[in-house]
Homo-oligomer: A and B are copies of this chain.
Amino acid sequence: MSKKLTTRSEDYSKWYNELVTKADLAENSAVRGCMVIKPYGYAIWEKMQAELDKKFKETGHQNAYFPLLVPKSLFEAEEKNAEGFAKECAVVTHYRLKNNPDEPGKLMVDPDAKLEEELVVRPTSEAIIWSTYKNWIQSYRDLPILINQWANVVRWEMRTRLFLRTAEFLWQEGHTAHATRQEALDETILINDIYANFAENFMAIPVIKGVKSESERFAGAEETYCIEALMQDGKALQAGTSHFLGQNFAKAFDVKFATKEGKLEHVWASSWGVSTRLMGALIMTHSDDNGLVLPPNLAPIQVVIVPIYKGEEQLAAISEVALTIKQQLLDLGVSVKFDDRDNVKPGFKFNDYELKGVPLRIAIGPRDLEKNQIELARRDTLTKSYVPIADLGTVIPNLLKEIQETLFTKAANYRDDHITEVDDFETFKEILNTKGGFISAHWDGTSESEESIKKATKATIRCIPYTSVSKEGTCVFSGKPSAQRVLFAKAY
């Protein structure tokens, strides 16, 4: 702490990286592409976990845990899934190290401890889970299975960025098994709704619900539902996905069940996940040039109290009041920190809590005490006001609610202002390179046009929105007939 951050307009990408590290959220580790999630960042992730976990359980899901390592023969069973992930698999080939005879004190892989079958560090768990479900499912009475797991996964990405794309990341992955196609599809959509609701109402991140085009689908899925968010630099970010897997994994792992009528049928499936990538979405939706801006729901510290004083006597008087306020707020369920460190100045503290996105800051000086008031600063608007101490019990909870709503509205307005209907390819390119955001345009439904557009502009189809009214038109690229508009954007 704490030279000024690079501003967003100077260099958005640099601003992001600096913010993540300076606000103590995460940092790069000694392992290529893997991050250390620091306590402050992890505390935010824990709040996301707790809320999602509650929502999953309320809808009948249970947690379980499946192995980290997947034998290659299982991994390759569902061909499309295997093909989709093979290029980014960390592979365990040996189970022992030994002393290196040539370099005393150093270790080497023991060639005698080569595994008969290599083990893949899970990039996703469909394979290991469906090989397990095979033994759990005999009859329709064993269905549905509604399981979630909180876990780490590894995907050996070549270009990594903190939270947004890391070789190892944390996530939850749900894996469900059903007796009918409709039930699996309903589950897929239910979860996408839970994700959207969570993003909007808990994280204050507006999202668009939709379906992926074939080329953007999860490897092994029949349909991928998603929520797409828009970052402040006009790029989209896929915030969560829910996959309808059809019977693909049931067929690959030979998972059948006896129906009520006694027939044997393959099981239907869904899988779905959100990850620590949401931390990136959170940061890039709300934060500003002074640092992080946190919605109160996610703030590890919602209110910080900073004393402004000279000498022990003033500090003692202020502390007494501060601690009373703190207790009062704690009793109301507000998380509060009283920062009475004596080795840094108030101004330093102000900057630090601004950088860390604490929603409300209370400052108390001797003159405030005389007037029975405090100075209250809002992180989101950077405005200050004086509030009578007697009113804090109502003002603070109301303000936290208001900030939560304000952040959502602000982000939703930005997003709405950045969905542009476009009908010709020249405008498409121009909008993309100037205004950015989502471009709502007709597409002929072919992978060829999609690929050509991507090559020409780097924009991909983010989703075919639920809300897209089927209205015929002509493809913005090929001029061929199109059934509806889809959303294009450059994306993280």
Chain A residues within CB distance 8 Å of chain B: 27, 29-31, 34-39, 42-43, 46, 62-72, 74-76, 79, 82, 86-99, 105-107, 109, 118-121, 128, 131-132, 135, 141, 147, 151-152, 154, 156, 168, 170, 343
A29 to B122, CA, bound (A): 14
- A34:B90 contact, CB within 8 angstroms: no
- B64:A36 contact, CB within 8 angstroms: yes
- A109:B91 contact, CB within 8 angstroms: yes
- A147:B87 contact, CB within 8 angstroms: no
- B95:A31 contact, CB within 8 angstroms: no
- Which single member of B35, B63, B68, B118 contacts A46 (CB below 8 Å)? B63
- B156:A69 contact, CB within 8 angstroms: no
**CB nearest to A66 among chain B residues:** B36
- B152:A30 contact, CB within 8 angstroms: no
A31 to B74, CA, bound (A): 10
Query: Given A34-B68, A71-B31, does the pair A119, B95 have CB atoms closer than 8 Å?
Result: no
Q: Would you mind naming 18 contact pairs between A and B with Cβ atoms under 8 Å apart?
A: A29-B132, A31-B70, A31-B71, A35-B67, A36-B65, A36-B66, A38-B64, A42-B65, A43-B63, A67-B168, A68-B154, A72-B107, A86-B98, A86-B99, A89-B96, A97-B120, A141-B343, A151-B152
A92 to B37, CA, bound (A): 22
A168 to B366, CA, bound (A): 58
CB-defined contacts of A109 to chain B, threshold 8 Å: 91, 93, 118
Query: Given A96-B156, A128-B30, does the pair A90, B64 have CB atoms closer than 8 Å?
Result: no
Query: Given A72-B107, A91-B95, A156-B96, does the pair A31, B67 have CB atoms closer than 8 Å?
Result: yes
Query: Given A62-B42, A107-B82, does the pair A34, B92 have CB atoms closer than 8 Å?
Result: no
- B63:A42 contact, CB within 8 angstroms: yes
- B89:A156 contact, CB within 8 angstroms: no
- B67:A29 contact, CB within 8 angstroms: yes
Shortest Cβ distance from residue A301 to the other chain B in the assembled complex, whole angstroms: 12
- A69:B90 contact, CB within 8 angstroms: yes
CB-defined contacts of A67 to chain B, threshold 8 Å: 29-31, 34-36, 168
A76 to B106, CA, bound (A): 6
**CB nearest to A74 among chain B residues:** B30
- A90:B90 contact, CB within 8 angstroms: no
A120 to B39, CA, bound (A): 24
CB-defined contacts of A99 to chain B, threshold 8 Å: 86
- Which single member of B31, B86, B151 contacts A97 (CB below 8 Å)? B86
CB-defined contacts of A74 to chain B, threshold 8 Å: 30
A466 to B150, CA, bound (A): 38
A63 to B45, CA, bound (A): 10
CB-defined contacts of A151 to chain B, threshold 8 Å: 152
Shortest Cβ distance from residue A36 to the other chain B in the assembled complex, whole angstroms: 5
- Which single member of B75, B94, B170 contacts A93 (CB below 8 Å)? B94
Query: Given A67-B35, A96-B86, A107-B86, does the pair A43, B62 have CB atoms closer than 8 Å?
Result: yes
CB-defined contacts of A121 to chain B, threshold 8 Å: 68, 92, 121
Most buried by B among A90, A94, A141, A152: A90
CB-defined contacts of A105 to chain B, threshold 8 Å: 76, 79
Most buried by B among A36, A63, A96, A135: A36
- B37:A65 contact, CB within 8 angstroms: yes
A141 to B92, CA, bound (A): 41
- 10 smallest CB-CB distances across A and B, nearest first, come from A39-B62, A34-B67, A37-B65, A86-B97, A95-B156, A91-B94, A31-B67, A93-B93, A76-B107, A90-B92
A106 to B118, CA, bound (A): 13
- B30:A131 contact, CB within 8 angstroms: yes
- B30:A71 contact, CB within 8 angstroms: yes
A35 to B68, CA, bound (A): 10
CB-defined contacts of A42 to chain B, threshold 8 Å: 62-65
CB-defined contacts of A94 to chain B, threshold 8 Å: 90-91, 93
**CB nearest to A147 among chain B residues:** B39
Query: Given A89-B97, A96-B87, A109-B118, does the pair A170, B65 have CB atoms closer than 8 Å?
Result: yes
